Amino acid sequence: MKVISETRLAIRVARGQKSQQAALDAWLAERPLDVAAPGLAVIAEGAFFELAVPPHVALERLAGGCVCCIGLLPMQVTLTRLLRARHPASILLLIAGASHLERVHALVASGKLGVSLEQRR
Tally of domains within the chain: 1
Question: Residue 87: which domain range?
Answer: 8-117
User: Does 25 map to a domain?
Assistant: yes
User: Does 2 map to a domain?
Assistant: no
The pLDDT tens digits of the residues spanning 80-114 come to 888 888 888 888 989 888 887 888 778 777 777 77
Q: Which residues of 39-53 are buried (b: 16+ CB within 10 A; e: fewer)?
A: bbbbbbbbbeeebeb
The pLDDT score that the predictor gives to residue 121 is: 46
The pLDDT score that the predictor gives to residue 120 is: 58
User: Does 65 map to a domain?
Assistant: yes
Predicted model pTM: 0.82
The pLDDT score that the predictor gives to residue 38 is: 63
Which amino acid makes up residue 82? L
User: Does 89 map to a domain?
Assistant: yes
* 119 confidence band (pLDDT: 50, 70, 90): low
Q: Whole-number mean pLDDT of the chain?
A: 79
Q: How many CA atoms lie within 13 A of 56 on its CB side?
A: 15
